[in-house]
């Protein structure tokens, strides 16, 4: 049995919005690109130090930078260069897009006088705990996004409509702290006896 309760209308919400503050956001995609470029720069520095040691006579062997320059200087057009050039352009565009893409807001605002947020993962845990307090619920698992909570409850009698309704009420009570009420969906199914 599935019950879905829409969030109450704005007229029903007598909540104070959180104070102005910057909401925590996800890690920017460009951060990963920067880490990869940093590793490549460190590798280039290691090669330069190695060639410096060879040039000073501290190490033996050919200079890797000179060898690479000679290899590039001797190149002639080959068919693999076209896809390699296209891949390089696409990689550059990807890096540019990752730098310009705004970071996603991952958290949910809590109605408080100060800037307070809750992560959807933690909200799902709160919803599961609230569902477990309902008589007739053997187990509960929840998933949450910024706009929706889905509670899957293992119940004694899934045909009894009062249990999903009670779970909905329990979850709604604990989510009253949020600045905007999420949509709550309760799925009841036959549960196994507690071990």
pLDDT > 70? residue 156: yes
pLDDT digits (tens, 9 = 90+) for 63-94: 999 999 998 888 888 899 999 999 999 999 99
pLDDT at 1: 56
Tokens of 170: 């329990």
Question: How confident is residue 7, by pLDDT bands cut at 50, 70 and 90?
Answer: low
pLDDT mean across residues, the chain: 86
pLDDT digits (tens, 9 = 90+) for 118-127: 999 999 999 9
pLDDT at 33: 87
pLDDT at 11: 39
Under CATH, which architecture does the 120-190 domain have? 2-Layer Sandwich (3.30)
Query: How far is residue 182's CA from residue 120's CA, in Å, rounded to a whole number?
Result: 11
* pLDDT mean over 109-117: 85
**116-119 contacts at long range (C-beta below 8 A, 24 or more positions apart):** 116/18, 117/18, 117/23, 117/24, 118/178
Query: How far is residue 106's CA from residue 190's CA, in Å, rounded to a whole number?
Result: 33
Query: How far is residue 17's CA from residue 115's CA, in Å, rounded to a whole number?
Result: 9
CA-only gyration radius of the chain, Å: 29
Question: How confident is residue 23, by pLDDT bands cut at 50, 70 and 90?
Answer: confident
Enumerate the domain spans of the chain.
31-100, 120-190
pTM here? 0.61
């Amino acid at each position: 049995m599935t019950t879905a309760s829409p969030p109450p209308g704005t007229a029903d919400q007598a909540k104070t919005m959180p104070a102005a503050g910057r909401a925590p956001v996800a890690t920017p995609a460009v951060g990963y690109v920067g880490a990869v470029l940093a590793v490549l720069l460190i590798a280039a520095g290691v090669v330069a130090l190695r060639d410096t040691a060879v040039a000073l006579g501290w190490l033996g062997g050919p200079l890797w930078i000179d060898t690479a320059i000679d290899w590039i200087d001797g190149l002639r057009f080959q068919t693999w260069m076209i896809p390699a050039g296209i891949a390089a352009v696409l990689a550059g565009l990807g890096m540019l897009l990752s730098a310009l893409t705004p970071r996603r807001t991952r958290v949910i605002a809590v109605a408080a006088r100060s800037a307070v947020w809750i992560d959807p993962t933690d909200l799902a845990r709160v919803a599961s705990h609230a569902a477990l307090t309902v008589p007739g619920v053997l187990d509960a698992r929840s998933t949450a996004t910024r706009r929706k909570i889905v509670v899957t409850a293992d119940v004694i009698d899934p045909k009894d409509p009062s249990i999903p309704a009670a779970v909905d009420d329990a979850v709604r009570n604990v989510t009253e702290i949020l600045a905007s009420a999420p949509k709550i969906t309760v799925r009841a199914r036959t549960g196994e006896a507690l071990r």
